């Protein structure tokens, strides 16, 4: 069973691995023995996050702004200098703002669609040579795009650019899983519900209690919840899971 869920010796890249859900995922991968690169704009913060994990394994920070194609090119060029293959790509970096129908402007629409949807699409395309080097029929390379439960359902919250971007993330994950599966690259999405990060740290304690009441499991997600799902998808246990959307949301999407 230990081998079934092993990612030891794999090479992983986590975008936005310096904070929030990306940091939780990074902790899981590093502690499980994967050499893990984290990409973020703020290098100091990324160095600090990587340093905190260095006792448990190998975590290397890379500075980059992934919201533009030039930024993606620069990061992929760095990774290609450092490694000849990448086994695991986690497209996690994202932006989120609650804005009512009359509130959000063109900049907000574009920044959500750019970082949340365009970035995973182009990261995957530009990382294909490294992913193709890693994938085998027995042990495909793995791509996980972090979507959202709000890409699957509509709630009382208003965040239209976010809804659009995350629904798009889910659909490209399914399409790319189908397209790249025969090349031994599995592409899946994880659709998290609320996790305690800077994104959800808005509003009063009463609002947070209100949010919990809407979650069938009656709690926010924990690091173990997201780590466990990522380890499953990236290990032998998840080798036959492709082109799917895994909800890690305490039951919100099904409720
Ligand atoms: N938190 C939740 O409850 C929740 C629920 C569902 C889905 N999600 C999804 O989970 C993902 C992570 O969310 P989070 O709450 O953990 O966010 P977060 O706490 O705000 O962390 C975002 C991470 O992405 C990096 N980042 C932001 N813009 C970037 C850019 N242009 N280029 C490179 N890196 C960038 C940040 O570092 P720098 O600022 O240094 O760049 C940081 O490491 C997102 O895709 C989000 O939509 C979150």
> Can 162 be counted among the known catalytic residues?
yes
Is residue 72 in contact with ligand 1, taking CB distance under 6 Å? Answer: no
Domains of the chain and any CATH numbers: 11-248 (3.40.50.720)
Question: Which residue in this structure is represented by tokens 């497209």?
Answer: 91
- Ligand 1, atom nearest to 96 Cα: 47
Q: Tell me the C-alpha distance between 195 and 212, whole Å.
A: 11
Residue nearest to atom 23 of ligand 1 (CA): 16
How many Å lie between the centroid of ligand 1 and the Cα of residue 164? 17
Ligand 1 atom having least distance to the Cα of 91: 45
With a 6 Å cutoff on the Cβ, whether 111 touches ligand 1 is: no
**Other Cβ atoms within 10 Å of 222 Cβ, number:** 12
- How far apart are the C-alpha atoms of 97 and 147, rounded to whole Å? 15
- pLDDT of 203: 75
Query: How many residues belong to the chain?
Result: 255
**Å from CA of 16 to ligand 1 middle:** 6
Task: Name the token pair of 56.
Answer: 């448990």
Question: Residue 227: how many CB atoms within 10 A of its CB?
Answer: 19
Note the pLDDT of residue 2: 81
Q: Which two tokens stand for residue 132?
A: 């193709």
pLDDT in tens, 11-41: 999 999 999 999 999 999 999 999 999 999 9
Pocket probe for ligand 1: among 20, 44, 69, the residue whose CB has the most ligand atoms within 8 Å is: 20
Show the DSSP H helices in 83-196 as ranges: 106-112, 119-134, 160-180
In short, whether 215's Cβ falls inside 6 Å of ligand 1 is no
How far is residue 103's CA from residue 183's CA, in Å, rounded to a whole number?
Answer: 44
Mind listing the pLDDT tens digit for each residue in 216-227?
999 999 999 999
1 CA distance to ligand 1 middle (Å): 32
- Residue closest to 69 by CA, chosen among 112, 18, 121, 10: 121
Ligand 1 within 6 A of CB of 200: yes
Residue tagged active-site, from 37, 160, 162, 232: 162
Joined together, the tokens standing for residue 80 give: 């290609």
d(CA 59, CA 51): 8
- Tell how many helices (H) and how many strands (E) occur in the chain: 8, 7
Q: Which residues of the chain have pLDDT under 70?
A: none
* Whole-model pTM over 0.85: yes
Ligand 1 pocket test target in 72, 93, 114, 118 with most atoms within 8 Å of CB: 93
């Amino acid at each position: 069973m230990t081998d079934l869920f092993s990612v030891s010796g794999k090479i992983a890249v986590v975008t936005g691995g310096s904070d929030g859900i990306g940091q939780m995922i990074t902790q899981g991968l590093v502690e499980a023995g994967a050499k893990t690169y984290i990409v973020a704009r703020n290098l100091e913060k990324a160095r600090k996050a990587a340093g905190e994990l260095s006792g448990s394994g190998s975590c290397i920070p890379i500075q980059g702004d992934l919201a533009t194609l030039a930024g993606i090119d620069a990061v992929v060029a760095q990774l290609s200098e450092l490694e000849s293959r990448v086994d695991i790509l986690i497209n996690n970096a994202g932006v989120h703002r609650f804005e009512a129908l009359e509130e959000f402007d063109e900049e907000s629409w574009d920044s959500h669609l750019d970082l949340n949807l365009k970035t995973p699409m182009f990261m995957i395309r530009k990382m294909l040579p490294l992913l193709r080097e890693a994938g085998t029929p027995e042990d495909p390379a793995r791509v996980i795009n972090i979507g959202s439960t709000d890409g699957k359902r509509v709630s009382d919250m208003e965040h239209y650019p976010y809804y659009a971007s995350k629904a798009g993330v889910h659909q490209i994950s399914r399409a790319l899983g189908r397209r790249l599966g025969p090349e031994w690259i599995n592409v899946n999405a994880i659709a998290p519900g609320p996790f305690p990060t800077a994104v959800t740290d808005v509003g009063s304690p009463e609002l947070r209690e209100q949010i919990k009441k809407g979650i069938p499991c009656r709690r926010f997600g924990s690091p173990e919840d997201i780590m466990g799902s990522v380890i499953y998808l990236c290990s032998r246990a998840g080798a036959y899971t492709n082109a799917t959307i895994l909800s890690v949301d305490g039951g919100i999407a099904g409720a």
